[in-house]
Amino acid sequence: MSKEMIVCKGISKSFPGANGSTLEVLKDISLSINENEFVVVLGPGQCGKTTLINLIAGLEMPTSGNVTVAGNPITKPNPDIGVVYQKTALFPWLSVQSNVGFGPMMKGMKKDERKKIVQHYIDLVGLTGFEKSYPIKLSGGMRQRVGIARAYCNNPSVLLMDEPFGHLDAQTRYLMQEEVVRIWEADKKTILFVTNNVEEAVYLADRIIVLSNCPTHIVTEFDVTLPRPRDYVSRDFLSLRKTVNDSLERTR
């Protein structure tokens, strides 16, 4: 039986709104993600996708309900949970290899061992040759590669990805979608990836969870069984893309 890695039980989240009102963002969300599963949470803009990521990452606490990762209740940030953001914030004064190795260095890992692990992940994300480059010299896609390598370098069992390709141009976005599947296949992790892009969801996911508008609840989910690597223009891909798109349209 597969092991449940991320479990959200009846989580709701409200924020204080204008004039003393309450803004209900997430409403009674329950989901369970198995070890090494690649789940995409698909929802419209401003529906609370980042809020959901923050709750699972332990950066925010739910108003009600609870989150566990690998069976442990989440009450604060946890090194076993890696996060890749829409815009990766890198230390501008550190080289690619120092950015990637920052976590292991903070943990006090010995230099030789650290060097090996850092090189392994730099190679895995396709940045071989850029070890000594500084972030200012990197393109948007390369920065996201650094963000992915940095997250992997801490060896988390869970990776949360918050629209990591949202700011990239279309061509680079396609390339990074292929890359993230390749990286996941080479080094399996439990991934929860959020996006508002239906095509991206169908390309990446083992399973797509569709969210509604605020107050956000789960509308439906789809198992994606198309073989990988997926073909964006195959008949099956386009047909599923339409079905998922229709379900998202109905939430508006």
Ligand X SMILES: Nc1ncnc2c1ncn2[C@@H]1O[C@H](COP(=O)(O)OP(=O)(O)OP(=O)(O)O)[C@@H](O)[C@H]1O
Q: Which residues bind Mg ion (CB under 5 A)?
A: 49-50
Q: By C-beta, is 87 or 115 nearer to ligand X?
A: 87
Query: With the C-alpha atoms ordered 140, 142, 143, 145, is the resulting torsion angle positive or negative?
Result: positive
227 binds, among ligand X, Mg ion, none (CB under 5 to 8 A by kind): none
Q: By C-beta, is 45 or 71 nearer to ligand X?
A: 45
Q: By C-beta, is 98 or 213 nearer to ligand X?
A: 213
Residue 17 Cβ, how far from ligand X at the closest point, in Å?
A: 7
Contact 8, 56 (CB under 8 A): yes
Cα 149 to chain centroid, rounded? 13
User: What is the token pair recorded at 30?
Assistant: 């329950």
- From the list 50, 64, 133, 220, which residue makes contact with ligand X (rule: CB under 6 A)? 50
The phi-psi region of residue 231 (left if phi > 0; otherwise alpha if psi is between -120 and 50; otherwise beta) is beta
Residue count, binding to ligand X (CB under 6 A): 12
Piece of the chain touching ligand X by CB under 6 A; list 46-54, 151-159, 197-205, 222-230: 46-54
Piece of the chain touching ligand X by CB under 6 A; list 33-41, 48-56, 94-102, 169-177: 48-56
Residue 107 Cβ, how far from Mg ion at the closest point, in Å?
A: 29
Per-residue binder mask for ligand X (CB under 6 A), 171-200, x = binder: -------------------------x----
Query: Alpha helices of the chain — where are they, by DSSP H?
Result: 49-57, 96-100, 102-106, 111-124, 140-153, 170-186, 198-204, 235-249
Q: By C-beta, is 37 or 162 nearer to Mg ion?
A: 162
Query: Could you say whether residue 22 binds ligand X (CB under 6 A)?
Result: no
CA geometry: angle 85, 91, 95, nearest 5 deg: 115
The phi-psi region of residue 28 (left if phi > 0; otherwise alpha if psi is between -120 and 50; otherwise beta) is left
103/94 Cα distance (integer angstroms):
13
Query: Could you say whether residue 213 binds ligand X (CB under 6 A)?
Result: no
47 binds, among Mg ion, ligand X, none (CB under 5 to 8 A by kind): ligand X
Contact 79, 57 (CB under 8 A): no
Query: Could you say whether residue 30 binds ligand X (CB under 6 A)?
Result: no
Q: Which residues pair with 29 in a beta bridge?
A: 11
- Which residues contact ligand X by CB under 6 A? 15, 23, 25, 43, 45-51, 196
